Structure 1
Amino acid sequence: MLDDIDRGLVHALHLDARAPFSRVGAVLGVSTQTVARRYQRLRAEVGMRVVGLPDPAQAGLTQWLVRLTAQPASARTLARSLARRPDTSWVKLTSGGLEIVAIVHTPVNAPSSMLLHDIPRTASVTAVSAHFLLHTYLGGPTAWRGRINALDAEQQRSLRLPDRVATDEPLSRADHALIAALHHDGRLGNAGLAAATGLSQATAARRLADLRARGAVFFDVEIDAAHYGATTQAFLWMAVTPADLDRVATVLATHEELAVVAATTGPTNLTAHALCADPAALHRYLTHRLGALPAIHTLHTAPVLETVKAVGPLRT
């Protein structure tokens, strides 16, 4: 479990992933050295890392939620194989280790290049379905509320960045190189960004500031929810009456137990990712909170056994 300083640091990084340690320390009321030590300890001991990600719309990407059912002996190997691909994220083993769930990112102008063409040729896969992500109500640049409740309102105001203003300006090759470097380390310094892109340090810093201002890049903080006491995870696949979908999804996005809420295509049109303290807490959530929403006609719960890959590159 994390102490108050650890939690405050993680919350601060959610608000401004590249904030100087001196600024974070001033907000938390500790020294710059303490923040730096805690950051390095969290990286080394609990695997925390800051990851830079492109805004899918501005990067020309679509997202698919893919579900694979595989033979028990090969499911983990297949999940690792999918996780090594650069076009996947959130690769998880669910449902007793027989199902793999992953997000696949594909170019808008080349959907036929997606890995879905490869999956049916894999003999160990016994079933596959793909769900186009239509709208994200919770997730992406927002975070599970269990990780962003450590700082008070004044502390959050001191760290929160100005609202992003999206534009139609296309990403350049240098922009893509910047985002690719930040994908490996969201706090990479200007010297490292310059080396990765071939730009000068000043140009790299200026270009990154522009990308952040228009929301073309955002940052996530990877850290196992178990360190916050959430030891039970599950995907929730729901079928909701179309006329009620937006209302139900908006309500679900306010639930503290959920980290992701998204509308999708397919026989289930709403999916969510639940994080609960234990199986009993998940049961209470399903029966008392979701059960109180009559517009949810069907609900399939798939426990998550293992997160093979989150949003950053697969760890070696």
Structure 2
Amino acid sequence: MDSLRDLGELDLAIVHALQIDARAPWTRVAAAVGADAATVARHWQALREESLAWLTAWPTPERFSSTTDVAMVLLDPRTSADAVDGIARLPWVLSADDTSAGVLVLVAGAGGLAVLGDRVRAVAERGARVRRMDVAAAIVAEDSTWRLRVLSRQQQRALRDPSRPDEARPPRVEIVAEVAEALDEDPRMPAASVAKILGVSEATARRTVDRAVAAGLLRLGCDLAMPAAGYRRGAILWARSADAEGAAARAARLPEAHRVGILVGRAPLFVGVRARSLTSLQQIEQAWGDDIDVVDRWTVLRGIKRNGHLLDASGRSRERVPLRW
């Protein structure tokens, strides 16, 4: 594994700001992090060039619930590296993690459960033995909701665009899809360029993006090489609770949780957590609640793919694979 430089306080603050609002002007980001705009832009350019941080259009829980079926698929640990790489490059594989139980992939489909089944079979046809498939009843939190928690509330308020609505009538689904397509490669694309792609005025394009974001149908954020921020360990918790929905909602509020789902299975609660040390797991579970029965714990050995980006052994983005499902 290549050594990574630890991100400094300003780097982490910039990433947190862009997690909150990827399209915020550098002047507003600078006001929030306490630096001038030129310095902020220079630091961001260095982060991008080193593949330590990157902008992303995330598939949000709202998009999952409205249009998508999802399954967690566990591959046999003996699956070859070439087969895993080929599977990770499939556009409807949203994420892939090498764990102590095998490679766990998140498969999505928008054509119903039959299509989801076909996609799992397509994974198997690429040389992988599928050991387990769990269909999601709900995705409660995805990586789009995870934050570094570096900026204070006052700093976060400085990021707010007073002209952007907190609530707005969402655009039509097909319009959201067009906007997502336009911003997928460059979430900071100027409104004028978005307008040209959509065939509308610049003002309409700006309002459409703002409405899609406010409605939760489009989330533009920032991802990073987790080890560079000190998050060198990860785990997946499988649990039960008499109140699965309430337990999942509480899990989504845990600072360490970046992925939460309710699955159809013996242990329906699925929670992915990030930590600085695996010794933190007991504290994380205690914070989750007394009514939680954790039935299994898998260690994440390394991330392979996360929301459209293939990761190297150090957690840096090495290649972008656009998501289509």
TM-score, normalised with respect to structure 1: 0.83
Unpaired segments ≥5 residues, structure 1: none
Q: State how 1:1-316 maps to structure 2 within 5 Å.
A: 1-55=6-60, 57=62, 60-70=66-76, 72=78, 74=80, 76-95=81-100, 99-107=102-110, 109-114=111-116, 115-136=119-140, 138-144=141-147, 147-148=148-149, 150-160=150-160, 164-165=166-167, 167=169, 170-172=172-174, 174-194=175-195, 196-199=197-200, 201-238=202-239, 240-241=240-241, 243-278=242-277, 282-286=278-282, 288-290=283-285, 293-314=289-310, 315=319
SS in 2 for 1:134: strand
Identity among equivalent pairs (%)? 25
Is the contact between residue 59 and residue 144 of structure 2 (CA under 8 Å) also seen in structure 1?
no
**Alpha-carbon displacement from aligned partner over 1:193-239 (angstroms, at most 9, x marks no partner):** 3454455544433322332233321123110221121111111122x
Answer whether contact 2:248 2:260 (CA < 8 A) is retained.
yes
Over 3 Å counting, the alpha-carbon distance change for 1:160 and 1:102 in structure 2 is farther
Q: Calculate the aligned-residue CA RMSD, in Å.
A: 2.8
SS at match of 1:184: coil
Amino acid at match of 2:76: A
CA-CA distance at 1:79 after TM superposition: 2.6
For 1:199 and 1:126, locate their aligned partners in 2 and report how far apart those are by CA, in whole Å: 46
Q: Flag structure 2 segments of 5+ consecutive residues without an equivalent.
A: 1-5, 311-318, 321-325
Query: Is residue 141–residue 218 contact of structure 1 (8 Å, CA) maintained in 2?
Result: yes
Q: Which amino acid letter does the alignment assign opposite residue 14 of structure 2?
A: L
Q: Distance in 2 between matches of 1:166 and 1:250?
A: 24
Cα displacement (A) at 1:85: 1.9
Question: Aligned-pair distance for 1:179?
Answer: 0.4
TM-score, normalisation: structure 2: 0.80
